[in-house]
């Protein structure tokens, strides 16, 4: 067996029993934020469960790919795989997040330019088609592969080894280091990343609800504002309109009253 280092987790600790338990707990807690995000959406714009599953499953596939890629890259070292995993994770959450945003924007522009309707992120047809979901999953996975490739090239820059030695060197307990690296830090960062990426790849309902009325675009909020202005208008307007409508009727009645009446006497 490989000798355990003086501090930090040893080789293979990420795939040990305790490490796998922490990863399962991390997946459960991290994806619960996506469910919380669905319930935080307005009721008028809340996604059905099937659409929500199609949106979040793309992130699940991408996150699993990034996670296992980080575990594989971190286990290549025999010194402290936990610190290397943390470096990978921090780069994924910073530079990687920028690359994901850029990749989603570029892919969305290409898909819209080519008019591939079912490959637009968040659009699955009516009724939703599984083929559209599969195509979008493939596109999102390609973005993840591009992001991880760039991050791996960045790690080849000299200087990361020194950072790896001092990053978690002050923690003497291997299990505590494993908890920090595999649960605490990833949970906080993943919750933010899932929330942001879900907003990027979900359907923009606010843009879809705009209606074209007489050549002008009127949003539901504008319609509600217009209705509220009508409801809050003074009662005198209604009285005046009603009185204006009744004037011809009253004039006609007065004219009838002024007309002479004739009585036939036999």
Sign of the torsion angle spanned by Cα atoms 128, 129, 132, 137: positive
pLDDT of residue 161: 66
Rounded CA separation 124/117 (Å):
8
In the block, tokens 């879809």 appear at 208
Rounded CA separation 43/47 (Å):
9
User: Do 83 and 164 contact (CB within 8 A), yes or no?
Assistant: yes
The alpha carbons of the chain give a radius of gyration, in whole angstroms, of: 32
What are the residues whose beta carbons fall under 8 Å from the beta carbon of 263, sequence distance 6 or more? none
User: Do 124 and 47 contact (CB within 8 A), yes or no?
Assistant: no
User: What's 33's DSSP letter?
Assistant: H
pLDDT of residue 149: 94
pLDDT of residue 137: 92
User: pLDDT 10s digit of each residue in the chain, 266 long?
Assistant: 444 444 457 666 777 788 888 888 888 887 888 888 888 888 888 888 888 898 888 888 988 898 889 888 887 766 678 888 888 888 998 899 999 999 999 998 999 888 888 888 888 888 888 899 999 999 999 999 999 999 999 988 877 767 766 766 677 777 888 888 888 888 888 888 888 888 887 875 544 443 333 344 444 444 444 444 544 444 444 444 444 555 455 455 455 455 555 454 44
Residue 83, CB half-sphere, CA atoms under 13 Å: how many? 23
Kindly state the tokens that stand for 121: 């992120």
pLDDT of residue 250: 46
b/e map of 198-215 (b: 16 or more CB within 10 Å)? beebbbeeeeeeeeeeee
- Domain ranges across the chain: 13-204
Kindly state the tokens that stand for 113: 């330019």
Kindly state the tokens that stand for 120: 């637009």
pLDDT of residue 215: 40
CB-count burial class (<10 Å; 0-12, 13-18, 19+) for 79:
middle
Rounded CA separation 230/228 (Å):
5
Kindly state the tokens that stand for 34: 């996506």
pLDDT of residue 77: 64
């Amino acid at each position: 067996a490989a000798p355990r280092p003086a501090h930090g987790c040893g080789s293979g600790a990420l795939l040990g029993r305790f490490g796998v338990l922490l990863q399962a707990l991390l997946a459960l807690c991290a994806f619960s934020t996506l469910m919380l995000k669905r319930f935080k959406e307005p009721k008028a714009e809340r996604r059905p469960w099937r659409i929500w599953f199609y949106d979040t499953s793309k992130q699940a596939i991408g996150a699993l790919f990034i996670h296992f890629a980080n575990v594989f890259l971190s286990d290549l070292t025999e010194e402290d795989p936990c610190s290397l995993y943390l470096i990978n994770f921090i780069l994924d959450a910073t530079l990687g997040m920028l690359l994901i945003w850029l990749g989603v924007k570029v892919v969305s522009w290409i898909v819209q330019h080519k008019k591939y309707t079912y490959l637009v992120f968040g659009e699955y047809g009516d009724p939703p088609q599984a083929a559209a979901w599969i195509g979008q999953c493939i596109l999102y996975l390609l973005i993840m592969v591009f992001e991880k490739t760039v991050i791996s090239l960045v790690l080849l820059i000299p200087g990361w080894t020194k950072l790896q030695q001092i990053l978690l060197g002050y923690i003497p307990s291997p299990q505590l280091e494993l908890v920090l690296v595999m649960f605490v830090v990833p949970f906080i960062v993943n919750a933010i990343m899932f929330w942001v990426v879900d907003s990027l790849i979900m359907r923009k309902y606010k843009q879809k609800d705009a209606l074209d009325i007489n050549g002008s675009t009127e949003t539901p909020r504008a319609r509600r504002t217009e209705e509220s202005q009508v409801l809050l208008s003074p009662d005198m307007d209604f009285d005046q309109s009603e009185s204006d409508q009744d004037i011809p009727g009253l004039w006609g009645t007065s004219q009838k009253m002024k007309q002479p009446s004739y009585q036939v006497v036999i």
